[in-house]
Amino acid sequence: MTKIIALNRKYLAMVASAFVICLVGFLGFSLWHNSDASVSKINEIPEIKMLGVTVEPASIVKDLTYGSVTLKGAQVITTKTFDLIATFQNTTANKMTNIPVELQVSLVGDDTKKVISPGTLPALEPGATARVAFRQIKVLGDALGKSATAGQHLMTLRIKPNPEGGVVQATEASFRFTVDSTVKAPVAVKRQ
């Protein structure tokens, strides 16, 4: 004997709907949980904090116009070579040694023009600050008062991990600046 089982479409649709609602709820909870975890990682205090960067000779902030393009509040370096001094702070309760620091300068829009300068902080006590100086950095392009892109540089400072020295976390900071040797620095900036 053969038995025929009849399913009522109304009950099948209700079960399928309940299953879909549960699946959507589970996915929503999973995504909310993952996004919450990534936000908390972003807000963590780095092991080594970058407190400041100084450029010598001093850069100036100025609006630059090249043809129809205006760069508002551009950070301008007016020389072909400069020094960069970065200040770091140990935010942990542990002493760190042999901390690898790297400066990368690249010309925006041209990946072939890139300079990488390695450096090392010998030691950094808990809460202490230290400076690393990168001297005589040569610029990779010059706007020469004509091009909005020819003099744009991207500078990236990196602290690389060194577990043996107590540095577990990588830290990175980037900023852009424009090199234009035709811009005249104010007299007060030249004296510093």
| Whether residues 9 and 25 fall in one domain | yes
Q: How many beta carbons lie within 10 A of that of residue 169, not counting itself?
A: 14
| Whether residues 120 and 35 fall in one domain | no
Contacts of 174 (CB under 8 A, 6+ apart): 154, 155, 156, 157
pLDDT at 35: 52
Question: What is d(CA 57, CA 65) in angstroms, rounded to the nearest whole number?
Answer: 23
| Whether residues 129 and 34 fall in one domain | no
Half-sphere exposure of 14 (CA within 13 A, CB side): 5
**Beta-bridge partner residues of 96:** 124
| Whether residues 31 and 60 fall in one domain | no
pLDDT at 18: 80
| Whether residues 110 and 81 fall in one domain | yes
pLDDT at 21: 84
pLDDT at 110: 85
Structural domain including 5 reads 1-44
**Beta-bridge partner residues of 157:** 103, 173
> What string of pLDDT tens digits covers the 192 residues of the chain?
666 666 677 777 777 788 778 777 777 767 765 554 444 455 567 888 889 888 898 888 888 888 888 888 888 999 999 999 999 999 999 999 999 999 999 998 888 889 999 988 999 999 999 999 999 999 999 999 888 788 899 999 999 999 998 999 888 999 889 899 898 877 654 444
| Whether residues 114 and 157 fall in one domain | yes
Model pTM score:
0.69
| Whether residues 150 and 167 fall in one domain | yes
What's the domain count of the chain?
2
Question: What is d(CA 137, CA 113) in angstroms, rounded to the nearest whole number?
Answer: 13
Q: How many beta carbons lie within 10 A of that of residue 167, not counting itself?
A: 24
pLDDT at 33: 58
Q: Look up the CATH number of the domain holding residue 67.
A: 2.60.40.10
pLDDT at 191: 45
**Hey, which bits of 29-145 come out as E strands?**
48-56, 60-66, 69-77, 81-90, 96-107, 110-124, 129-138
> At residue 183, what are phi and psi to the nearest 5 degrees?
-75, 130
